[in-house]
Amino acid sequence: MQWLKNLFREKKTMEQARQWIKEKITEQERTKKQATATAEQVFPELLIELKKAIVELERAELRNPSIPERAKHFMQGNREQFLKLTSKFAENLFVPKEAPDFSQLDLLFHQYAQNTTRPAAILSEFFGEEVKNARKALADIEAQIQEIKTAQLKTEEFQKIEDIVKNIDAVKSERESIEKQRKDFEEQLDQLKRKYEALKKEKEDFTTRPEYKKVKEDIVNAARERQESEQTITNIFLPLSDAIKKYAHNIKNEKLAAYADNPLEALMHDYSFSILKHIAALREAITDNSLGLKPEKQQKSLESLKLVTKEQLGPMLHRYANAKKREADIIHDVAQRPIMQEYEQYAVLLKTTSNEIQQLEATISKLKIPTDDELKEQFKQELEKHKIILI
């Protein structure tokens, strides 16, 4: 019944919990300081008591002198070992002050207990009172150390809780920093997008200017003339594509095969019109159907073949070359005009702005907002151990 348990728990806000932790750390540090001061005061006396118990055990006489010599020898060996280990142990004891001191003393006590358990048990059979006194002296020393250690452990416990609070604060600070950075980036992104749209609109308005339209018209006309002359040549050789490909393959002529794939390019590099040497043989191959063409393709191929003459190809190639040169000259001329340089500036600005937008969007997408949910849950669980509910 959780509600019943909550009746016996104290409720605190985050700030109240912070203050409570600080008070607990101060309280435990004060307790540790007092315990340390007390230990430093009584430690010399406790060590004297321990050494006194050691001396008493060393001088103790057997209450039953009729014990066999072998048993006496066995007893004496264990007494010497116990006295040696205890004296050495007493020399290494000190009042702990820092965290590493407790680990050192824990190891010291553990090793001592491990090494003296057997001899102490044996000696208890012979000198029960003296061993008891030595153990009591050791227990009094350990109690003083344990009191300091308890305060130290409680201090560390509250310090760990305080560390959780510090981590929560650190995450909060980091989150606020990233959120501010994200907000700044989003504002920059919004500005860039507005800039891009403004440039785009300016560019669109720019393209309506008469001087730009005139330039555009010149380029389009030059391109159209070049495309038309190019198409004229392509149209002649397109119906011949299959026939030329098969014929060229049969005679193993790669230069002629190029007319099937790219007739314009092939013709431009066929300076002597070497294709004309194959016209008669190609016509014969088409006519006797040695190339395996369908009747319809045969007819179209023969009709196109009539146009493959020097009288036809020469002027067409000349027209294409002139059109291509005029187009290149116009493009070069246009590129020098202020109107086009101004247009290119818009193009560059738009591309640069677009790249900046993409980069900023990528940066924003990589920003991860840290969460402190896990730390807060851990903090709540630690407080609940002390019967405190965080509200």
- Domain span at residue 134 reads 11-177+376-390
Each residue's pLDDT tens digit, 89-136: 999 999 999 989 999 999 999 999 999 999 999 999 999 999 999 999
Q: Residue 240: what residue type?
A: L
Confidence class of residue 337 from pLDDT cuts 50, 70 and 90?
confident
Same domain, 165 and 93: yes
Does the residue 383 lie in any domain? yes
What six digits make up the tokens of 276?
Answer: 């004309």
Same domain, 49 and 173: yes
Same domain, 27 and 170: yes
**Domains in the chain, number:** 2
CA-CA distance, 172 to 368, in Å (whole number)? Answer: 13
Same domain, 30 and 162: yes
Whether the full predicted model's pTM is greater than 0.95, yes or no, is: no
The residue that leads in pLDDT, 1 or 49, is 49
Residue with tokens 């405190």: 388
Same domain, 171 and 270: no
CA-CA distance, 333 to 340, in Å (whole number)? Answer: 10
Same domain, 34 and 128: yes
Name the nearest CA neighbour of 301 among 272, 339, 262, 260.
260
Same domain, 81 and 23: yes
Does the residue 154 lie in any domain? yes
Mean pLDDT (whole number) for 212-234 = 88
CA-CA distance, 379 to 16, in Å (whole number)? Answer: 13
Same domain, 296 and 223: yes
What six digits make up the tokens of 55?
Answer: 């001396």
Measured over the CA atoms of residue 297, residue 302, residue 306 and residue 310, the dihedral's sign is positive
Partners of 73 in the beta sheet? none
Name the nearest CA neighbour of 277 among 307, 302, 309, 314.
309
Same domain, 230 and 329: yes
Q: What is the pLDDT of residue 176?
A: 94
The upper half-sphere exposure of residue 11, i.e. CA atoms within 13 Å in the direction of its Cβ, equals 4
Q: What is the pLDDT of residue 207?
A: 83
Does the residue 352 lie in any domain? no
pLDDT exceeds cutoff 80 at 170: yes
Each residue's pLDDT tens digit, 258-300: 999 899 999 988 888 999 999 999 999 889 988 888 888 899 9
Name the nearest CA neighbour of 129 among 199, 56, 195, 219.
56
pLDDT exceeds cutoff 60 at 388: yes
Q: What is the pLDDT of residue 4?
A: 39
Same domain, 41 and 171: yes
Does the residue 196 lie in any domain? no
